[in-house]
Chains A and B, each alone.
Chain A
Amino acid sequence: MGAILRKAFPGLILLTLVLFPLVGDRFYIQFASKILLMIIFVSSLNLLVGFTGLVSLGHAAFFGFSGYVLALLSPPDSAMNFFIALLASILTVGALGAIFGALVLRTKGIFFIMSTLALGEMLFYFLHDTNLAGGSDGMYINTRPNLSFFDWWQLDLANVVHFYYLVLILVCAVLLVIRKIIYSPFGRVLAGIRINEHRTKALGYNTYKFKLVCFVIASMIAAISGFLAAVQFGVVNPEMVGWHVSGHALMMVILGGKGTLLGPVLGTTALMLVEEGFQMVTKHWQLLTGGVIVLVALFFPNGLVGLKFLKKRP
């Protein structure tokens, strides 16, 4: 029974998600899109933290900056081509990821944590203090990008249901890509780096290069998520690159179970639902969130995936 359930589990979730807009309320569809796009972001962080063993506290830099690229590129009164805008965001953020990665990967362990945090905050102050991108108020994206396939089929990104399906497709695509990566020879080297970097180096792998490529890929996947967030809310602000976003994403990775494909899906959904619940209960909901984070980190370091029938590691 357990084995069948485990095999059918992803399919069941997917089916539920596909059918959800048919029954869901507008607010909940919007909330579900928010969770789905966060899953992309958390999965990209999991690629670093869970699969390669690089604990980054500055991953939000790529999430937020991607939104900024869209905001800066968007003409004030007309729509931009969706694919061009997305590609531009991914490539720009990838370049930023290469620069940041080249610097921070020179450090290890605790230094890596501190320097990723510091570089992320550098971007925050850059966006916050200068007037290049709206300063502390951020920027509005007045017209959402235009997503059409040669004029015969058009998605309206302002439409909640259309946007939901777009995000759902991208989540699946990203998870498949990450799966492909971790089972590839490249992914095995990343696992080797996580388990014992010295030994991997001794086997003749240039671990710095592998880590850098992984860092850039993770930043580009984070860019997809930040892009979608900017499209959904129509606004970007410096807080999107701030370290609280990174910290929360890290929490979601752990809550779900680091180093698994399903972990970020479960962790993101669980934490966002729980926080939504807390927000209904009290104004000081962060107190409860903080408590949950402390308890999970102390007592459930393997996350939800470590529980029950979901226990299977790739």
Chain B
Amino acid sequence: MDAVTFFIQTMNGIQYGLLLFLVASGLTLIFGIMGVINIAHGSFYMIGAYLAWSLMGWLGNFWLGLFVGIVVAFLLGLILEWLFIRFLYDRDHLQQVLVTYGLILIFSELRSVIWGDDVHSVAIPALLDGSIQLTDNLAYPVYRLWLSGICVVIAILMFLGIQHTRLGMMIRAGESDREMTKALGINIGLVYRFIFALGVSLAAFSGMIAAPISSIFPGMGGQILIVSFVVVVIGGLGSIKGAMVAALLVGLIDTFGKVMTLNIFGVNIFPEMAGMSIFTLMAVILLFRPQGIFGKEY
């Protein structure tokens, strides 16, 4: 592997990691603040990608499609919280898992009814459809750079929003003591609804911006959900910083696992077993630091 290829793969790994961060941060927000484990989170990623496909087809414009898609996803989040999630706050994890598992089946079947079971793809918008020439025959696509950039911007906004705004203060208050926050006159139910909708939009937005560089297929929700879980377990639940570090780690390991070749005693470790590399990392973390890299002792 020469230096330029190494550079390109590192960039790809970081870009994948940042995308994972967007998905995983929604998951970790919803758990950290509301105490709800939402295994339907991957479905929202999948819905986002399919939404992007139809909206961009109808509206004929990537940016407009993106905007409408986010609004639709946010509304979907509000409705879902009102219909199902708000009943789960004082229930045990088992019921949360089951309700959201039921939602997975419903969404996956609705997807099949609405969009069918075909694999689709979305075109890269003209504005970003170029690449930066690195050497004579190696180039890096502008779209991936933009994707990484937007993820970083959102991460910073999220951090600032939680640490330095009034809403962020309410969120943090609700996280540490729900009853007390309520007693202070804050409508915590509304704050939770907003958080859930925000998590849904984050997942859907990730699906939308990932659509042009990866194909849109029925199983994409389950795949991203599992990887997000790995990210959250490695990073520590409820920790945004942990999610960021773990997501980058997972992104890089997964990317390099797929492009490297490694052969030990005649057994091909990479790329054949690349799918397992991140799980192995998770197992190691569990062994030495079961609460995750940035998780609190429990």
Contact = CB atoms under 8 A, between A and B. Distances in A.
Do A and B actually bind? yes
Interface of A: 49, 55, 57, 103-104, 106-111, 113-115, 117-119, 121-122, 125-126, 128-131, 243, 247, 250-251, 254, 258, 284, 286-287, 289-294, 296-298, 301
Given A114-B232, A290-B106, A298 B99 contact: yes
Q: Which 8 A-B pairs have the closest CB atoms?
A: A290-B105, A293-B102, A122-B279, A125-B275, A294-B102, A297-B98, A290-B106, A106-B290
B233 interface: yes
Interface in B82-105: 84, 87, 91, 93-95, 97-99, 101-105
A297 to B, nearest CB: 4
A106 B91 contact: no
Nearest to A295: B102
A247 B226 CA distance: 14
B276 interface: yes
Nearest to A112: B93
Contacts of A106: 286-287, 290
Given A111-B237, A117-B226, A126-B276, A294 B84 contact: yes
Contact of B97 (A57, A103, A125, A301): A57
Interface stretch (B15-23, B107-115, B178-186): B107-115
Contacts of B99: 293-294, 297-298
B58 interface: no
Classify the secondary structure of A's interface with B.
Answer: helix
B151 interface: no
Contacts of B95: 254, 297-298, 301
Nearest to B98: A297
Interface residues of B, number: 45
Contacts of B37: 110, 113-114
A290 B104 contact: yes
Contacts, number: 132
Contact of A287 (B97, B105, B291): B105
Contacts of B98: 250-251, 254, 293-294, 296-297
A106 B108 CA distance: 33
B286 A103 contact: yes
Most buried by A among B97, B105, B112, B298: B105
Contacts of B279: 118-119, 121-122, 125
Interface string B223-240: 000100110110001000
Contacts of B103: 290, 294
A115 B282 contact: yes
A250 B100 CA distance: 13
A52 to B, nearest CB: 13
Nearest to B283: A103
A49 B230 CA distance: 22
Contact of B230 (A118, A243, A247, A301): A118
B217 interface: no
A107 B290 contact: yes
Interface string B36-50: 010100000000000
A247 B96 CA distance: 12
A113 to B, nearest CB: 6
B272 interface: yes
Given A113-B97, A297-B99, 13 more contacts: A55-B94, A106-B290, A107-B286, A115-B282, A119-B283, A125-B279, A126-B273, A129-B272, A251-B102, A286-B109, A290-B105, A294-B99, A297-B98
Nearest to B236: A111
A268 to B, nearest CB: 15
B229 A298 contact: no
A51 B9 CA distance: 48
A302 B275 CA distance: 38
B97 A250 contact: yes
Nearest to A110: B37
Contacts of A291: 102, 106
Interface in B162-189: none
A106 B272 CA distance: 29
A291 B83 CA distance: 13
Contact of B87 (A251, A296, A298): A298
A243 B85 CA distance: 22
A147 to B, nearest CB: 35
Nearest to A122: B279
A14 B286 CA distance: 44
Contacts of A250: 94, 97-98, 101
